């Protein structure tokens, strides 16, 4: 009802019609915001497809794919440390001091080599600080690079292809068989099991006594 004072209306009469719409909005909008935060900001959705711009246009499709450079040539610590090392500038210069040495695309590499300052690479697969992940524990047990990182040998620019959420990790820890291969083949992106992945993976798991933990302390230390 519109209020009146001295014969004048405080609100126009059509404002009465807005009250039902306002009531609906007060219910619907908070519910929408809750769903937006719960789903849209979830690790299940926010990182897949993340593809940051890098200071040097490094093509994994060329280096790892066409040229067949093993992942471990650049990421030297994956078999012995929790983290996969970003290659130092010297690793790049091992080749590029002679190959395409004057390329404009490689100017940041040459500047880094001359100054001793690192190239400011942008991390793509960046887990939260409260999560502990050990690359060596997975690589040495036969979890291929492709299982988490996708076919980086086909990527011009590396992008995140999996959720990397807690649920995604637990799914693998509970049923690891399809993700296992001989440890010496972990960097072979195109590798396929010689038989059903579940059968082959179960045989590998039983032979090496792999029993992934699902305890909280495994990842939250």
DSSP H or E stretch at residue 4 = strand 4-5
Which distant-in-sequence residues (6+ apart) come within 8 Å of 106 by Cβ?
A: 56, 92, 96, 100
- B/e letters for 45-84, b = 16+ CB within 10 Å, e = fewer, are eebeeeeeeeeeebbbbebbbeeebebbebbbebeeeeeb
221 vs 216: CA distance, rounded Å:
8
- Listed residue (65, 73, 77) closest to 95, CA to CA: 73
Q: pLDDT, tens digit, for every residue of 158-200?
A: 999 999 999 999 999 999 999 999 999 999 999 999 999 999 9
DSSP H or E stretch at residue 9 = strand 8-9
Q: pLDDT, tens digit, for every residue of 39-98?
A: 445 555 578 999 999 999 999 999 999 999 999 999 999 999 999 999 999 999 999 999
Q: pLDDT, tens digit, for every residue of 5-34?
A: 555 555 666 666 666 767 666 765 676 555
DSSP H or E stretch at residue 5 = strand 4-5
- Residue pair 103/62 in contact by the 8 Å Cβ criterion: no
- Residue pair 131/220 in contact by the 8 Å Cβ criterion: yes
């Amino acid at each position: 009802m519109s209020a009146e004072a001295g014969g004048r209306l405080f609100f126009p009469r059509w404002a009465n019609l807005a009250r039902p719409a306002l009531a609906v909005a007060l219910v619907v909008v908070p519910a929408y915001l809750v769903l937006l935060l719960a789903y849209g900001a979830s690790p299940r959705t926010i990182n897949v497809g993340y593809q940051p711009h890098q200071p040097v246009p490094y093509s994994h499709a060329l280096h790892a794919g066409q040229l067949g450079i093993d992942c471990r040539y650049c990421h030297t610590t994956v078999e012995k440390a929790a983290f996969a090392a970003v290659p130092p500038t010297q690793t790049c210069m091992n080749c590029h001091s002679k190959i395409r040495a004057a390329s404009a695309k490689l100017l940041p590499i040459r500047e880094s080599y001359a100054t001793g300052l690192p190239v400011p690479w942008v991390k793509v697969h960046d887990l939260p600080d409260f999560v502990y992940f050990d690359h060596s524990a997975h690589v040495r047990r036969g979890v291929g690079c492709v299982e988490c990182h996708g076919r980086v040998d086909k990527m011009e620019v590396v992008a995140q292809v999996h959720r990397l959420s807690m649920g995604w990790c637990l799914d693998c820890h509970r049923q690891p068989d399809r993700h296992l291969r001989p440890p010496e083949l972990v960097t072979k992106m195109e590798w396929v099991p010689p038989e059903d992945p579940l059968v082959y993976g179960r045989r590998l798991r039983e032979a090496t006594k792999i029993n992934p933990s699902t305890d909280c302390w495994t990842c939250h230390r």
